[in-house]
Chains A and B, each alone.
Chain A
Amino acid sequence: MNLGKNIPENDDFTSFLSREKYFSDHILDNCRSMISIINRDYVYEKVNAPFCNAHKEVADAIVGKTLADVWGQETFSKNIKQNIDRCFSGATVKYEASFTIPQTGQRFFEVVFRPFPVESGEITHLLAETFDITDLKLSEKIAVEKEEEFKRIEQMLEDRLLQAQKLETIGALAGGIAHDFNNILATISGYSELLQEDLPQASPSYQNVAKIQMAVSKARSLINQMLAFSRQVEQEKVIVNVYDVLKETIGFIKSAAPENVTVKSNIRKKNAPVFADPTQLFRIFLNLLTNAIESLEERKGIISVSMELVSGKKVRDELNKKIVADDYVLITFRDTGKGMDPSLIRRIFEPFFTTREVGKGSGMGLSVVHGIVTEMGGEVLVSSEKGKGSVFYVYLPVSAGSTNNFLVSGIRKRILFIMGNRHESNILSLALESAGYDLIKPSNKKDFVAVMSEKKFEPDLIIYMTDAENIRCEDLLGALHNRTSETQCILIEDPDIEFPEEKFVNSGLVCQHLIKPVSLKEIKNAIQLSIK
């Protein structure tokens, strides 16, 4: 617009100028960017209000000062001067930079220098315009972080799938090859025994053959671990309250934990029914607690356990997981132990992965935990910091049903259950009762004798745990000897306790012999075979 044409005829020039200055100042001061005019001596000749506000100064205090005065000599000569010189040579210069201004501290800016041609055509000034682009930068940064987070989650899901497939493969492999593999081992072992018969015991060859035998027994235990793994993932399930199982597990670990360990539990009685084998739940909780104790390496430390209900929606959002229930129960195991490197965390659920010395751990524990939990539709997660400790999170889907009626029709059999270790037996009794069996549980010899001498009482079956302290196996044999009718018996042997097996076998009583730990599936099979 040509200002000259707009000069009102009757107006005098001075008042026109002052009005124009008022307008242009008003426009400048109401811009959102900082605007200044700089001359060839790097001196500010004019600045607008946002510029002044940013520097917490009035215009008069800035006009007449050099850029070096305002920004500091170092910033001026390092970052600003070259751009200004380029502008004075005729170019419009645009760049982004972060610098500190008194009003807001450090911010991001886009700076534009435009050469300022006067009528002579010689560049004497430049117009500097500076926009605050911090918010834009921040939102860009957030977008990048979101993208990275998304990629990380995608990777995690992929890893998890891979892990599940790996575990499945190991399980199938174990079941499939164990039989043939054990045949091969039996052949190797048998021939090496024959060889030893032919060799003088003192000869080096005899010792070499002994080493073959040792290798065979190692291979055998490896196969057994793999078989145990494939077996443990298959479960016989009932509806059980996680609270009941967790309470027993904590009771067990408190009585067994060494003195350096403090076990804290923050668990209030809640109804958290899940569809699971209680004995397997007990095993996985115990496994996580035992690992926590080991991570303390005999130093003083705290293991804390908590249990809470979380909504399926929350689980879906936080775990990026397809949910299978409206609610989940989250059990958290936290220790102040040695923690793990991130590189370890990725691998701990792999079968045969162990941080223990060779021969001290099978490396099956956590992979079994993972297998069982995932099979239930749950999830186990870990977070850990080297030197600080680890936290294991177990999410289990809460079952909608509340009774086991659909399982028990026609089962109601009476079992005389002679219990061993309190907590372990309680779990087993919980499992059996949930599966629909009626249990009679004498707690001492007197009760037992009273039950056994009751004429009307006729148990369908007796289950005897060999670590029963108050009722010894002699008591059982004696009581059975006096009875006329034949009662079937299942022995659950504690391999750590010396037990006179022959007495039982010779009495012709034992129809099933299980070795701890037993799963609900194993014991149910045994019961079904015993009760015909």
Chain B
Amino acid sequence: MPGILIIEDDEELREMLKVSFSRRRYTILEAGNGKDAITHFKPGVTDLVVTDLIMPEEDGLKVIMKLKEIKPSIKIIAISGGGKAGPGSYLNLAKALGADAIYSKPFSVNDMVLKIEELLNIEQQ
């Protein structure tokens, strides 16, 4: 079973993503902030990361750079609800830094699941 790491500081949202992905039989790993995600990152069992961008401790942009460095084949989906600079600019940055897909909150979780399947299929080929 492919492993998905969800990095999101909002607990309810993290729980929602976990419930949605679990239905598709993925192994779910969780982290509440960027620092924990990097420290406890398990490259062997993590195929894809869904990460928030604005978080306490390390932010999502740092996470993207660090995880891509540790495991270049990892797929990353960045999600952001925006902040002072607006959702667009952070997500653009995330894409520039190597995120494979970007979603601004609120997004369709069904769309995201389709995207995940697409990204992981490409990985397997």
Contacts and interface: CB of A to CB of B under 8 A. Distances in A.
Interface stretch (B36-44, B70-78, B87-95): B87-95
A435 to B, nearest CB: 18
Contact of A512 (B23, B79, B84, B96): B96
B19 A194 contact: yes
Contacts of A183: 10, 12-13, 81, 105
A179 B109 contact: no
Interface string A379-414: 000000000000000000000000000000000000
B109 A193 contact: yes
Contact of B16 (A175, A179, A190, A526): A190
A190 B20 contact: yes
Interface string A216-233: 110010011001101100
Given A187-B16, A191-B16, A182 B105 contact: yes
Nearest to A525: B89
A122 B81 CA distance: 100
A197 B95 CA distance: 30
A513 interface: yes
B29 interface: no
Contacts of A184: 10, 12-13
B82 A179 contact: yes
Interface residues of B, number: 31
Contact of A188 (B10, B88, B89, B106): B106
A169 B83 CA distance: 15
Interface residues of A, number: 37
B78 to A, nearest CB: 13
A529 interface: yes
A187 B96 contact: no
A467 to B, nearest CB: 19
Interface in B44-88: 54, 79, 81-88
B110 interface: yes
A194 B13 contact: no
A513 B95 CA distance: 9
Contacts of A220: 106
Contact of B84 (A181, A224, A230): A230
Contacts of B105: 182-183, 185-186
A66 to B, nearest CB: 87
Nearest to A182: B81
A179 B54 contact: yes
A189 interface: yes
B120 interface: no
Contacts of B104: 182
B31 interface: no
B106 A185 contact: yes
Given A193-B110, A194-B109, A187 B83 contact: no
B93 to A, nearest CB: 7
A197 B87 CA distance: 29
Contacts of B23: 194, 197
B109 A512 contact: no
A184 B10 CA distance: 9
B108 A182 contact: no
Contacts of B96: 511-512, 529
A512 B92 contact: yes
Contacts of A469: none
Interface in A188-210: 188-191, 193-194, 197
Contact of A186 (B19, B83, B93, B107): B107
A190 B93 CA distance: 25
Contacts of B83: 175, 178-179
Nearest to B109: A190
B117 to A, nearest CB: 15
Contacts of A513: 92, 95
Contacts of A181: 81
B16 A186 contact: yes
Contact of A189 (B85, B95, B109): B109
Nearest to B113: A193
B17 interface: yes
A223 B79 CA distance: 16
A231 B81 contact: no
A182 to B, nearest CB: 3
Given A184-B12, A512-B92, 5 more contacts: A178-B81, A179-B81, A182-B106, A183-B12, A186-B16
19 contacts: A180-B10, A180-B81, A182-B81, A182-B105, A185-B105, A185-B106, A186-B79, A187-B10, A189-B106, A190-B13, A190-B16, A191-B16, A193-B20, A194-B20, A227-B87, A231-B85, A512-B96, A513-B92, A513-B95
